[in-house]
Amino acid sequence: MKKRSIVLLFILLLLAIMFLTSSIWSIFGLAIVGFGVLHYVKKSRGKSSFKRPLLIIWLGVFLAFIIVIANTDTSTTENAKEEARVTTEKKEAEAKAKEEARIAAEKKEAEAKAKEEARIAAEKKEAEAKAKEEARIAAEKKEAEAKEEEETSNKLMYDPTGADKDCSDFPSGGFEAQEFYIAAGGPQSDPHDLDRDNDGNACDWQ
């Protein structure tokens, strides 16, 4: 074999092996290369062989190269699909996280609103209770005043709003007349004319 032929054959074998390591399917191309090398050796020794075994070797290398390119394209497509899938999953996860954050924010807002409504209701209830208490106290005060007035009226000999009375109608003296005079509105008002000298004392009571 010529030195140039040996170098070329060596380079072709390296290329075939390199393609084989890139893809397991390029073993078909390597098998063709091996078949071509075998016949190339036979031809160099003068044995029966194909007319152009070097062409077979080139065909094997080319086939291995084509298979590697095809597999590379397939791998690139698969990688692109995988990246697209990962990107889609990432977007879906982000969208899901945003939705969960929105739901959590709405829930928190609803809880705050419920607390505010509960506070307003409690204040309203407290105000109503306070108003009832004030009304009760006012009613008790009014009742006490009415009772006091009734007791005062019961102590008097005569009704201050009744018929006209004179000093002579009070036999025990000016004390009873003075009480009657005050109950009738004195000293601001003297409907029975018991304080004729306008000194604030009925029937000259001292």
**Chain segment 64-97, per-residue pLDDT in tens:** 777 767 776 665 666 677 888 888 899 999 999 9
Most distant pair of Cα atoms in the chain: their distance? 177
Do 1 and 8 form a contact (C-beta atoms < 8 A)? no
**155 band by pLDDT with thresholds 50, 70 and 90:** low
Q: What is the pTM of this model?
A: 0.34
Give the model's pLDDT for residue 15: 66
Mean pLDDT of the chain: 76
Q: What is the DSSP letter of 167?
A: G
Please report, for residues 13, 23, 31, 106, 115, the alpha-carbon distance to residue 109 in angstroms, rounded to integers and kept in the order given.
Answer: 74, 60, 73, 5, 10
Pick the more confident residue, 9 or 184.
184
Q: Residue 7 pLDDT > 80, yes or no?
A: no
Q: Residue 20 pLDDT > 70, yes or no?
A: no
Give the model's pLDDT for residue 23: 57
Q: What span, in angstroms and rounded, lies between the C-alpha atoms of 24 and 67?
A: 9
Pick the more confident residue, 120 or 21.
120
